[in-house]
Amino acid sequence: GLRKAAKNIEYMIKQFEQSYSVRDKQDVLAMCALQFASQVEQKTIDKKNVSEHVEVKLKELDELLHSHLNS
């Protein structure tokens, strides 16, 4: 996992250095940290949305099953 993360960081550093005129390595590392943090946050938001959607669908299915079983 650490090796994969290191490769991702190296790749991201190269991308930032090519895209922006960055003079300080700390700036590039800060940009990488911000990028990774935003990706984690987005995944958390996406998982929450999926969980909420699944919960709604399960409640609908439960109500449907109850209505058929009680008929």
Residue 2 is encoded by which pair of tokens? 């650490």
> How many domains are there within the chain?
1
Question: Is residue 71 pLDDT above 80, yes or no?
Answer: no
How far apart are alpha carbons 12 and 34 in whole angstroms?
Answer: 11
What's the rounded Cα separation, in Å, for the pair 15 and 30?
14
Q: What is the pLDDT of residue 22?
A: 83
Within a 10 A sphere around the Cβ of 28, how many other Cβ atoms?
Answer: 19
What is the structure's pLDDT at 53? 93
CA–CA separation, 28 and 21 (whole Å)? 10
Does position 70 have pLDDT exceeding 80, yes or no?
Answer: yes
pLDDT in tens, 30-57: 999 999 999 999 999 999 999 999 999 9
The residue range of the domain holding 39 is 1-70
